Structure 1
């Protein structure tokens, strides 16, 4: 075998193994809690599952790579802008991909602390010192060069990555209802295949977005065009949020210098980027069911179209340079919408589950899961915990998720103190994100600003979006007030128009009490 072939074999992603690892972990969690069940009206609940995993070369040679799960989460809800927490104590975005990323950050933090506390005592160390010492003189670590980060999702992420899937699903529904004049899935697939080069969709000359679109409004895109940035939730009649879609967030995390680790952890860890995304193909099998002529061939073509569209959506912030591999798994997530459709009556279809699960495996990889942590969440807090509070007071610790801003902030500070890193007195979350904990956080913010644009217009952008969103209906989305939003200049940042959380939401201390803005 040539050196090139051997390298390709070692780096090959086993999408089925990643899916199997995520599903086995999910099925091993307690059946009660925040898992989908049956609502009081008798309807079945469904959700979305996401999980992060790391892979590294096999130590025994039995296979090319070994995989270890580092986080898992379910969910598809978010808080409206009016309910955004000012104490950092409530999770405002409970989509599975976002929660799983938050959990992965905490796993990486604890794993690094464990490796530094027990040099040589942790089997298969994942971190190594970063060679550069230019970050304010503070040491930083990075994942070994042969370690890869992977994401599994039970369906295409909401936003730009799933626009065409929604089109095909609507076409399948129209065909089943024999809607006059509607395109069939075959016709729609033919349209996209005719616009391809070598079987793959061509990308537009400009990445990024001209404007922020609310939810799924105007989701249809012409072949080869770039998609708009989108917010959650999908229903235009729901209170507006400024949570960007999972597709947009994945595109941001994929930018060099950004990564999934976030600003705070960047003080200790170099950027961690996603090398592959594994998607369950079960949602696609309702578009070309087994009864359809040549179903498997058509399904294969559909996978090519949707995978390429997903890849372009996730890579669009890096100007067309592809870096994420998108692959499919045939494993069925039993709590998906499609799985529940199989057992639901036509009159009472499944409904989305309002709760979420966050699971963080034992970061040491030992102890038979004794240090693993699982949380059941509802409306951004721990399910069943009392959420009453006095005015201007944060939630009590028992009600807060371990991955909310406040809890994570405290965890990062605790780790820095445990490894002997100095921490400013009375540190404030906003200052930590801006880099007071180390130069790595400053570099992260600079990389993020490069693709999002300057922060000085953040509040104005949010206010403009909310003003338009309040006038929106299910069939009408008012256009932006300015031509600049519709037609940004060629040198505009790739993710022009991104909605950033207002600065006042980050001004709290380690106790969650609000502090004055500088």
Structure 2
């Protein structure tokens, strides 16, 4: 609320997300890595094949992009340290995985560091498909097999909300998007589920870095526990 009281631009944001880094060995070293807001995706006609336009600008997705950028900077910092460009005592969150392979060197985030994602509301998609009248204290879902639940969903182009993916939908192509086909972007719920399995580091960093997982996901309000449990690691 303090951020939005006297700032009309920030006050328009409906979803606020951020990532906090903690250090198990130094509680005073906790810091905010990113703060973001957003609820929209780019429309197909504005999609950039050269990567000059962000496809997904939902708050939690933008915060995760900041985390990937931070991890890449830490990997580059580690390379500079071991190459002698920087002193060996330079603070760095990255270390080498011992005895991984004689043919390949793999890095990892030091165990002492943890990443925590905050979202002020339930992520869009399946985790948000619930009635606001459902009992807040409810833990177990009495109707887990409802047709509207447990479905992969995509975000609405240049708008808000999600729609279920049809089983018969074909693989999306650039030509199809340019012909007016609706751009299919994974919902935030589905992306969180994917990160809980593959890690948040992304495909490129996977070649150098062990999977990085979120230690916790903190929701501010407007969520139902039984729906969020589907996205636990």
With the shorter chain as reference, the TM-score category is 0.7 to 0.9
Alpha-carbon distance change, 151 to 114 in structure 1, aligned in 2, over 3 angstroms = same
In the alignment, what sits opposite 2:190? Answer: 248
Answering whether residue 22 of structure 2 is matched by residue 55 of structure 1, we say yes
Q: 2:144 aligns with which of 224, 229, 234?
A: 224
CA distance in 1, matches of 2:162, 2:187: 14
Answering whether residue 52 of structure 2 is matched by residue 89 of structure 1, we say yes
Q: Which ranges of 4 or more aligned residues in structure 1 deviate by more than 4 Å? A: none
In the alignment, what sits opposite 2:140? Answer: 201
CA distance in 1, matches of 2:87, 2:217: 32
Alignment check: 8 A CA contact 1:52 1:149 kept = yes
Alignment check: 8 A CA contact 1:105 1:261 kept = yes
Which is helix-richer, 1 or 2? Answer: 1
SS of equivalent residue, structure 1 residue 311: helix
Q: 2:227 aligns with which of 309, 313, 323?
A: 309
Mapping of residues 78-477 of structure 1, within 5 Å: 78-117=41-80, 118-123=86-91, 125-134=92-101, 137-164=103-130, 167-168=131-132, 185=133, 188-189=134-135, 200-202=139-141, 223-225=143-145, 226-233=149-156, 234=160, 240-255=182-197, 258-281=198-221, 284=222, 306-312=224-230, 314-315=231-232, 323=233
In the alignment, what sits opposite 2:10? Answer: 36
SS of equivalent residue, structure 1 residue 103: helix
Q: TM-score, normalised by structure 2?
A: 0.74
Q: TM-score, normalised by structure 1?
A: 0.36
Alignment check: 8 A CA contact 1:71 1:107 kept = no
SS of equivalent residue, structure 1 residue 73: strand
Structure number with bigger Rg: 1
Q: Deviations over 1:382-437 (max 9, x none)?
A: xxxxxxxxxxxxxxxxxxxxxxxxxxxxxxxxxxxxxxxxxxxxxxxxxxxxxxxx
Let me know the Cα RMSD of the aligned residues.
3.1
SS of equivalent residue, structure 2 residue 20: strand
CA distance in 2, matches of 1:70, 1:94: 17
SS of equivalent residue, structure 1 residue 71: strand
Give the total of aligned pairs: 204
CA distance in 2, matches of 1:276, 1:101: 13
Any stretches of 5+ residues in structure 1 without a counterpart?
1-22, 38-44, 169-184, 194-198, 203-221, 285-302, 316-322, 324-518
CA distance in 1, matches of 2:33, 2:90: 16
Alpha-carbon distance change, 58 to 87 in structure 1, aligned in 2, over 3 angstroms = same
Residue 235 of structure 1 and its aligned partner are, at CA, apart by 5.4
Any stretches of 5+ residues in structure 2 without a counterpart?
81-85, 164-180
CA distance in 2, matches of 1:156, 1:279: 7
Alpha-carbon distance change, 119 to 130 in structure 1, aligned in 2, over 3 angstroms = farther
